[in-house]
Amino acid sequence: MCRGTHQSLTFTGINGSSSHYGIVDLDGQQLKVGQSVRIDNAVEKPDIDKAPSNLSIVGRYVFSPKLSGCLKRTPLGVGDEMQLTDAVGLFMK
C-alpha cells in the first residue's frame, strides 16, 4: 500500500493546455486561494476533454517517505517515461 500524506501546490489558468501539465482531480470540490483540500487523483498531461479540473500541479512537493514504494510500482506513462504524477496517483489510492 502506498498511502500517506503529502502536500502539493496547484495553479489555475491552464487555458486549454492541460496536455502540458499534471492535472489534479478534487472530486468536485472547489478550491479557494490558500485552502488545502484532498486531491483524489493526479493525471499526467491529459487531453483537455479528459482533464478532471483546471488545476495544474506546480512541481514543488513535500512527500511522505512511503512514496518510494509507489515509484517502484509505477509503470511507464506519457512519453514512455516514469511520471511522478502517476506515482502520486497510486499514492493517493
Res 34: pLDDT:
79
**Answer CATH for 7-92 from 3.30.1240.10, 2.40.50.140, 3.40.50.300, 3.90.550.10:** 3.90.550.10
* Mean of per-residue pLDDT scores for the chain: 77
Burial label, 30 (beta-carbon count in 10 A; 0-12, 13-18, 19+):
exposed
Instruction: Write the DSSP symbol of residue 21.
Output: S
> The whole model's pTM is what?
0.56
User: What is the residue extent of each domain of the chain?
Assistant: 7-92
Stretch 46-61: mean pLDDT: 81
Res 1: pLDDT:
46
Q: How many CB atoms lie within 10 A of CB 85?
A: 22
Instruction: Write the DSSP symbol of residue 1.
Output: -
In this predicted structure, the answer to whether residue 37 has a pLDDT above a threshold of 60 is yes
CB 43 within 8 A of CB 19: no
